[in-house]
Chain A
Amino acid sequence: DTEVTQTPKHLVMGMTNKKSLKCEQHMGHRAMYWYKQKAKKPPELMFVYSYEKLSINESVPSRFSPECPNSSLLNLHLHALQPEDSALYLCASSPKQGLAKNIQYFGAGTRLSVL
Chain B
Amino acid sequence: AQKITQTQPGMFVQEKEAVTLDCTYDTSDQSYGLFWYKQPSSGEMIFLIYQGSYDEQNATEGRYSLNFQKARKSANLVISASQLGDSAMYFCAMREINYGQNFVFGPGTRLSVLP
* A-facing residues in B8-43 (Cβ within 8 Å): 31, 33, 35, 37, 42-43
Q: With A and B bound together, what is the CA distance between A106 and B95 in angstroms?
A: 16
Q: With A and B bound together, what is the CA distance between A2 and B48 in angstroms?
A: 12
Residues of B contacting A97 in the complex (Cβ-Cβ under 8 angstroms): 101
Binary interface encoding of chain A residues 82-105 relative to chain B, with 1 for a CB under 8 A from any of its CBs, else 0 = 000000101010000110111111
Q: With A and B bound together, what is the CA distance between A103 and B61 in angstroms?
A: 14
B101, A43: Cβ atoms closer than 8 Å:
no
B37, closest chain A residue (CB): A106
B42, A101: Cβ atoms closer than 8 Å:
no
Q: Interface size class for chain A? A: 20 to 34
* A-facing residues in B32-75 (Cβ within 8 Å): 33, 35, 37, 42-47, 50, 52
Residues of B contacting A42 in the complex (Cβ-Cβ under 8 angstroms): 91, 105-108
Shortest beta-carbon distance from B26 to chain A in Å: 16
Q: With A and B bound together, what is the CA distance between A17 and B47 in angstroms?
A: 34
A101, B50: Cβ atoms closer than 8 Å:
yes
A interface secondary structure, majority: loop
**What are 21 of the A-B contact pairs (CB < 8 Å)?**
A42-B91, A42-B106, A42-B107, A42-B108, A43-B45, A43-B91, A56-B102, A92-B45, A100-B31, A101-B52, A102-B33, A103-B35, A103-B50, A104-B35, A104-B47, A104-B103, A106-B37, A106-B45, A106-B47, A108-B42, A109-B43
* Interface residue ranges, B against A (CB under 8 Å): 31, 33, 35, 37, 42-47, 50, 52, 91, 95, 97, 101-103, 105-108
The 8 closest A-B pairs by CB, nearest first: A42-B105, A106-B45, A108-B44, A109-B43, A88-B43, A108-B43, A103-B47, A45-B102
| Other contacts beyond A41-B107, A106-B44: 11, CB < 8 A | A41-B108, A42-B107, A43-B45, A43-B91, A98-B101, A100-B97, A104-B35, A104-B47, A105-B47, A107-B44, A109-B44
